[in-house]
Structure 1
Amino acid sequence: MKILFVHQNFPGQFPHLAPALAARGHQVMAMTDEKNQRPPPVQVVKYASPPETKVAGLGRTYAEMAERGWLAARGARALRDRHGYAPDLIVGHSGWGETLFLREIWPEAKLLVYAELMYRTRGQDVGFDSEFSPGTDEGRVSTIARSAHLIQGLVQADAGLAPTRYQADSFPPELRRKLTVIHDGIDTGIVRPNPEATLTLPGGRTLRAGDEVLSYVSRSLEPYRGFHVFMRALPAVLAARPQAQVVLVGGDGVSYGAKPKDAETWKARMLAEVGDRLDLSRVHFLGRVPYPTYLSPLQVARAHCYLTYPFVLSWSLTEAMAAGKLIVASDTEPVRELIRDGENGRLVGFFDREALEAALIRGLAGDPDAARLGEAARRTIVEGYDLKRVCLPRLVAWVENFGNV
């Protein structure tokens, strides 16, 4: 088949699937935003980056997504008209609008979309954290408006793919029927326990596996991933464990939600709140780091903390589990799909700071169940989310199935 991947930040969720299909003899190409500099695993073509939209109000998100979709369609039209290219199958992420108009360029192609999450007005992130996300009428209306391109993208598609049941179930039943749940997959040969792991901090100190280290990872340090809850728990944790070191990986920007109103970043906001009660010589902010450096805290840590609103599940949780860590996580719906309290990790209420403090202190002190829980966490990933044995074969079969229809 001729298979075209479409993703503004390619390879995005497809770093393994695209080359795996190419290795099986398919003609695989990808289309991406001209500003994307990530190394591609297959041949890429680029479309023009959309300008900043001048549309305000409820139509802003759809205007942005439709503009990107039109620019992607123009790039597709150039492929068709100048080079005679016509894919049998298009695999695209529906989250940025890129797939919206591709059917008009290639009406005969099968269209598969990666359906990451459907925004909902209740039972998800909206109104979950009243401190930063109050469930107002305005907020709910805005959420509905931001969903238009996601609905349109899946309605147009022949089928969709979601990485977890929770994320698939965020879509309404009439659209949920189009979705297949297959996780992106974790390479458990690379992400694994490493008793020889070390992490050298910016100041020169080297942490080693077995040291009293607490890790926290998020693409951005922000409330959606419980950064404020974690920071508020640290004073008690560090006071109880005077030898503990805390390593945080994540950028200072915002990936989800909004910037703080009273500070430049959420990191600055939380340090202003609790910084005077912390021994900051033991709290290490690494920022965003290369992948090998990112893995080091997961392998070195004695305990790993993962907190999230009811929202998209982070790869960092599955990778910390694959590393065999003692996981202390929020008792929220997306987490419960992987973690069972007392079986392969510890769950605490997202807003229960005392329970979080107690679980982290116990983990750092040497939870007698840590080895059992860590081994069970890794087994969960190896048996159900392993890239090479479980997920990639299923993903390849799912794609190829549409070439046989």
Structure 2
Amino acid sequence: MKILFVHQNFPGQFLHLAPALAARGHEVLALTDEKNQRPSPVRAVRYKTPQELAMPRMLGSTYCEYTERGWLAARGCRALRDRHGFVPDLIFGHSGWGETLFLREIYPDARLLVYAELLYRTRGHDVGFDPEVSPDTDEGRVSTVARSAHLIQGLVQADAGLAPTGYQAGSFPPELRQKLTVIHDGIDTGIVKPDPQAELALPDGRRLRPGDEVLSYVSRSLEPYRGFHRLMRALPGVMRARPDAQVVLVGADAVSYGAKPRDADSWKEKLLAELDGQLDLTRIHFLGRVPYRQYLSLLQISRVHCYLTYPFVLSWSLTEAMAAGCYIVGSDTEPVREVLREGETGRLVPFFDQPALEAALIRGLAGEDPEAARMKQAARDLIVGQYDLRTKSLPRLVEWVESFAPVGTGG
């Protein structure tokens, strides 16, 4: 087949799938934003974007933004068709930014698949979950409904959709859920694995190794959606109880999913001000965003890994921490419960129960959990057995994509 991937941040979730399909003889091309600097594993072309997208500040602003991006992607496809003669048999795009909305008009005969990562919901998910940060209001729910329009339209137009977890697929209503197949992106457990020789160099020159008392935390950005504020407020008690513990946090001083605090430039700044005088900052290490190898070393030397999240998209970092054999303390929220099971593959604590979080972290750092070794091995076994990239996820993904091959293409 001729397969076109569409993703503003390509390769994104298609990092392994696109080259795997190319290796099987399909002609694979990617369409991405001209500002995207990520290296591509397959041939890529870029659609042009203006300096600023014109969008009014109203309930429809998200739809305006993403339909404009959809039109830019469609114009890019039109150029591929008219100037270069490229007509795909199949298109697979991430529907989150509207890029797939108008591709049927350019390529009416192509099969259209979408990566349906999550549908925003007004109840039972992230909206209104944390009253401190986002109170449950009529305005918030109305805004959420408005922001969901392009996601619904994208899946309605598609022949089928893919979601990485059951929780994320379940965010869509039943009439759309039936179009979805659940296949996780996959974890390369040959790379992400325990390493007794691992070490992590800190900015102050100190080196941490397996066996050291290290509490790790990883998020794209240090923000409430990933429980950064809950962890920070637990640290005074944890660090008093464990005077030798080192806390290592990976993540940008930004927001990826929520909003900035009203009274500070970042959540890190806000929490450090709130906890001024209560923390030994010589034992807290903010690394920002780090190269993958350094991030992996952190997981491999961690004694306790803390993963907290709103009911939202599940982070790759949790499944990678499990593959690395971490002892994990996670939030007892629905996306986490799909892979982290209390007493089996880790410890779960209620997201808002500060004493429970402190106690679980202290117990793990002290090595007082008699089930620790068994749970760490069980966590890795679960990922290897069900989420391994090479033996589980990638073969299923390739098979799923090729099942949509038009008759006569030999897919």
Q: TM-score, normalised by structure 2?
A: 0.98
State, as a whole percentage, how many aligned pairs show the same letter: 76
State the distance in 1 between where 2:175 and 2:276 align.
Answer: 49
Q: 1:394 aligns with which of 376, 393, 396?
A: 396
Runs of 4+ residues over 6 Å off in structure 1: none
1:34 aligns with 2:30: no
Query: Any idea what the Cα deviations from partners look like across 1:77-122, whole Å, max 9, x if unmatched?
Result: 0010111110000000000000000000000000000000000000
Q: What is the rounded CA distance, in whole Å, between the counterparts of 1:404 and 1:38 in structure 2?
A: 31
1:72 and 2:40 aligned: no
AA of the residue aligned to 1:284: H
In structure 1, how many angstroms separate the alpha carbons of the residues matched to 2:336 and 2:55? 38
Q: Which residue of 1 aligns with 2:355?
A: 354
- 1:3 is matched with 3
Q: SS at 1:28's partner residue?
A: strand
Structure 2 unaligned runs (5+)?
none
Corresponding residue SS for 1:194: coil
Q: Read off the aligned partner of 1:114 and give its amino acid letter.
A: Y
Q: Which amino acid aligns with 1:371?
A: A
Q: Could you tell me how far 1:369 is from its partner in structure 2?
A: 1.8
CA distance in 1, matches of 2:195, 2:49: 42
Asked if 2 retains the 8 angstrom alpha-carbon contact of 1:93 and 1:99, the reply is yes
* Separation (CA, whole Å) in 1 of partners of 2:47 and 2:210: 45
Alignment of 1:13-24 (within 5 A): 13-24=13-24
1:220 aligns with 2:229: no
Is the partner of 2:373 in helix, strand or coil?
Answer: helix
1:404 offset after TM fit, Å?
A: 4.7
Corresponding residue number in structure 1 for 2:94? 93
1:162-218 per-position Cα deviation (integer Å, ceiling 9, x unaligned): 000000000000000000000000000000001111000001000001100000000
Which letter does structure 2 place at the counterpart of 1:395? L
Which residue type is aligned with residue 379 of structure 2? A
**1:275 aligned counterpart, secondary structure:** coil
Question: Is 1:162–1:181's contact at 8 Å kept on the other side of the alignment?
Answer: yes
Distance 2:55 2:31 in 1: 26
User: What is the distance in 1 between the residues matched to 2:154 and 2:340?
Assistant: 31
**By how many angstroms is 1:57 displaced?**
1.4
CA positional deviation for 1:296:
1.1
1:371 to 362, 368, 373: 373
Q: C-alpha distance in 2, partners of 1:184/1:89?
A: 19
Contact 1:305 1:329 in 2 (8 A): yes
The alpha-carbon deviation at position 53 of structure 1 amounts to 3.0
- Write the mapping of 1:96-107 to structure 2, written as runs, cut at 5 A: 96-107=97-108
Task: State whether residues 260 and 266 of structure 2, in contact with CA within 8 Å, keep that contact through their aligned partners in structure 1.
Answer: yes
Distance, in Å, in 1 between the alignment partners of 2:200 and 2:372 is 21
Q: Distance in 2 between matches of 1:273 and 1:297?
A: 27
What do residues 348-367 of structure 1 show as CA deviations (whole Å, max 9, x unaligned)?
00000100000000000013
Q: Structure 2 CA distance, aligned partners of 1:166 and 1:389?
A: 23
Structure 2 Cα separation of the partners of residues 270 and 379 of structure 1: 36
Q: 1:52 deviation in Å?
A: 3.2
What CA distance in whole angstroms lies between the structure 2 residues aligned with 1:49 and 1:370? Answer: 51
> Are 1:310 and 1:332, in contact at CA under 8 Å, matched by a contact in 2?
yes
Q: CA deviation at 1:275?
A: 3.3
Tell me the amino acid that sits aligned with residue 105 of structure 1.
I
Residue 53 of structure 1 contacts residue 60 of structure 1 at CA under 8 Å; is this kept in 2? no
| Corresponding residue SS for 2:376 | helix
Which amino acid in the other structure matches residue 48 of structure 1?
Answer: K
Q: Which amino acid aligns with 2:64?
A: A
Quote the offset at 1:385 in angstroms: 0.4
**In structure 2, the residue corresponding to 1:13 is in which secondary structure?**
helix
Q: Is the 8 A contact 2:93 2:99 kept in 1?
A: yes
The answer to whether the 8 A contact 1:103-1:109 is kept is yes
- Equivalent-residue separation in structure 2 for 1:349 and 1:207 (angstroms): 30
> For 1:197 and 1:369, how far apart are their aligned partners in 2?
23
1:119-141: CA deviation from partner (whole Å, max 9, x where unpaired): 00000001100000111000000
Equivalence for 2:311: 310
**SS of residue in 1 equivalent to 2:391:** helix
The alignment's C-alpha RMSD in Å is 0.7
Name stretches of at least 5 consecutive residues in structure 1 with no aligned partner: none
User: Counterpart in 1 of 2:140?
Assistant: 139
Contact 1:221 1:266 in 2 (8 A): yes
Q: Would you say the 8 A contact 2:164–2:182 is kept in 1?
A: yes
Q: For residues 47-88 of structure 1, what are the alpha-carbon distances to aligned partners after superposition, in whole Å with 9 as ceiling and x for unaligned?
A: 012523331110100000000000000000001011111000
Matched residue, 2:161:
160
Measure how far apart 1:274 and its partner are: 1.1
Q: Distance in 2 between matches of 1:302 and 1:383?
A: 23
Question: Is residue 89–residue 406 contact of structure 2 (8 Å, CA) maintained in 1?
Answer: no
Q: Deviations over 1:299-331 (max 9, x none)?
A: 100010000000000000000000001110000
Equivalent residue number for residue 295 of structure 1: 296
**Equivalent AA in structure 2 for residue 374 of structure 1:** K
3-state SS of paired residue (2:87): coil
Structure 2 counterpart of 1:16, one-letter code: H
Q: Which amino acid aligns with 1:45?
A: V
Contact 2:55-2:65 at 8 Å conserved across structures: no
